[in-house]
Amino acid sequence: MTVAEAKKEISNAIIHLYEQREITAITTLLLEKITGLTRLDQIIQKDILIAESNLATLEQAIAKLIKGTPIQYVLGEAWFYGFSFSVTENTLIPRPETEELVAWVIADFEGSTSELHLLDVGTGSGCIPITIAKKLPHIKTYGLDISYGALSIAKKNALSIGTDTQFLKVDFLDSSEWEILPSVDILISNPPYIAETEKASMHKNVLDYEPHIALFVPDKDPLVFYKQILTFVEERLHKGSTIYLELNEALGEKTMALFPSTHFETTLKKDMQGKQRMLRVIKK
């Protein structure tokens, strides 16, 4: 089977699941992983044969894609801010919106040389604190999560990417567990914020494969994690501490309203798609 034939087989297998742009991206990523050929190489060398030893791997991957498995889980990795992170169905797939949140932190602190400490609430694959640790070595980073499976992957990523980020098993909604958390200057979080009623409008490959514990909150209290973050900030963070939050685009104003202007300086920011997806809070 040639590279061109493989591309056609992959495309035909998932044509009912994705739009053409996504099909092209998935096909390119899968063939790069299996053959080592870059996107350009796949065009130039479209007629070369794929090694027999790789054909079984290709067919297994296609079988998973047909079922709707996200390409990142098929590959076992996702790219975030230029780094390759291991992902499994115990972790969310890192997304571009979260890259924008991390970029905001980096822009705010890249000129600083002071030793600072940062905590990521709901760390998943660890992509947030690990990336910040790589880009801003003067910041000591920590991540917490309720999932042992996610923490295992996060620790693996810290080791492979080369940071000393520390990870803690904590149920953040249980304030009695906060006592083991370090003192920090910066808090960042992309917490669960999707209401249960929003499931109907979501893509099947997200619903069927990504961890619901990291996605959904009760309809009756969609800001539950932000309220708990507010309590943590009030009790544990010093004046001048900075908080960065990823938001449900429909609840930006309501989330910001949790942090009264008498005690906090707030900045709501839109992502590249013009959606209110980020909030920075500075404790006065």
- Looking at residue 202, its pLDDT comes to 77
Work out whether strand 186-189 and strand 116-121 pair parallel, antiparallel, or are unpaired: parallel
**What topology does CATH give the domain 81-283?**
Rossmann fold (3.40.50)
Residue 132 in contact with residue 106, Cβ under 8 Å? yes
**Confidence band, pLDDT 50/70/90 cuts, at residue 13:** very high
> Does the predicted TM-score (pTM) go above 0.85?
yes
The rounded mean pLDDT for the chain is 95
Task: Summarize pLDDT for 98-137 with one digit per residue, the tens.
Answer: 999 999 999 999 998 899 999 999 999 999 999 999 999 9
Task: Kindly tell me the burial class for residue 62, based on how many C-beta atoms sit within 10 Å of its own C-beta (0-12, 13-18, 19 or more).
Answer: middle
- What's the pLDDT tens digit per position in 156-198? 999 999 999 999 999 999 999 999 999 999 999 999 888 787 8
CA–CA gap between residue 87 and residue 92 (Å, rounded) = 7
pLDDT digits (tens, 9 = 90+) for 202-252: 777 787 888 888 888 888 889 999 999 999 999 999 999 999 999 999 999
Which pLDDT score, from 0 to 100, does residue 141 have?
98
E strands of 212-272, at which residues?
216-217, 242-246, 264-270
Instruction: Answer yes or no: are the C-beta atoms of 195 and 247 closer than 8 Å.
Output: no
**Helix, strand or coil, per DSSP, at residue 281:** strand
- Domain ranges within the chain, ordered by starting residue: 3-67, 81-283
What pLDDT does 49 receive? 95
